[in-house]
Amino acid sequence: MLILDDVVLRRFEAADLDRLYEYRNDGEVTAQLGGFSVGYSRADLVDWLERHRRRDDEVLWCIAARLDDRCIGQVGLYRVDPRVRKAEFAILIGDRSLQGRGIGKAVTRAVVDYGFCELNLHRVSLQVLVTNERAIRLYEGLGFSREGALRHEQFRGGRHVDVLLMSILEDEWRANRHA
């Protein structure tokens, strides 16, 4: 568990399923996320949680409001490869009323810091839709670099959208750790 100012990063619990169902089926939330779509049943999400819980190459957290412990999103490091010392980062803040309040920045900073300090990673990468300008600014502000794009990788709002590839290396993170 990681405790931040406004949120706690913890394992998912059965009580989180209804919130997760709401967020993962909210078209406005998922419109800016490349790896997510809508149309999940509760049974789908139970299966999804169990699959991810059993994986040994992932660290997945529920983002819970510190005041009332309600699930407001999810964050994780995926495809953790200890040999190459790399992982992929992804985040979803599902509670739209809390978006734009700095929670994503604090959570991203804490999880990437965990990756470098606790998992001994050398590289953390991510993918973000080119239309998600707020997220791109956040990642660049934390020291992530653009590496390239996957052209027409996703289909959102009736059109194909490019996905931007970004990463940060261990020494870059340490230099920007308090940005």
- Give, for all 179 residues of the chain, the pLDDT tens digit: 888 889 999 999 989 999 988 988 888 887 777 766 667 888 988 898 889 888 999 999 999 999 999 999 999 999 999 999 999 999 999 887 777 788 999 999 999 999 999 999 999 999 999 999 999 999 999 999 999 999 999 888 889 999 999 999 999 998 877 65
**Where do the domains of the chain lie, and which CATH numbers do they carry?**
2-176 (3.40.630.30)
Identify which of 83, 179, 98 has the alpha carbon closest to the alpha carbon of residue 138. 179
* Verdict on whether the full-model pTM lies above 0.85: yes
